[in-house]
Amino acid sequence: MIATQRLSSLESMLAGDHHRLEHAFQAIVTRAYGGDVQELEGQWLIFQRALLGHLEAEEKYLIPALAQDRPGEAAVLLEDHTRIRDMLLELGIDLDLHCLRAERVDAFVEVLRAHAHREEHTFYPWADGQMAASVAHRTRHE
């Protein structure tokens, strides 16, 4: 029972990151249209750090195992991460130049949502399954 609670918390923690990141980004968009550039830049840096940290954690701790089991899925996720980083950089430059365009923001939101959907419906359940198998294996051998 404890193992099951721990397993479901991994998926919920990772999906929760997606929801927090989307909420933070929506707050940035709202501020952008409000014109508070100094506050906006501070929020952008916090959002950027959180998003990059999320991507890096997945790449360091989870995607290598996925690549062994499902290399095609791992490659798609890594391509998504590259695209997200590229778009994040472009939006950061736009923000610095005070020319943040709604179309680019909308495109970024769509990419993030599609990526989150992919992870929440395939990658995270797979990761929970792998953890369950690992816990079961360790339990049998203790």
Predicted TM-score of the model (pTM): 0.81
pLDDT at residue 90 is higher than 90: yes
Quick one: pLDDT at residue 22? 85
Q: What residue numbers bound the domain in which 104 lies?
A: 2-140
Cβ–Cβ < 8 Å for 68, 46: no
Task: Please count the structural domains in the chain.
Answer: 1
Convert the pLDDT of each residue in 93-129 to its tens digit.
998 888 878 788 889 989 999 999 999 888 888 888 8
Q: Count the alpha carbons within 13 Å of 69 in the hemisphere toward its beta carbon.
A: 11
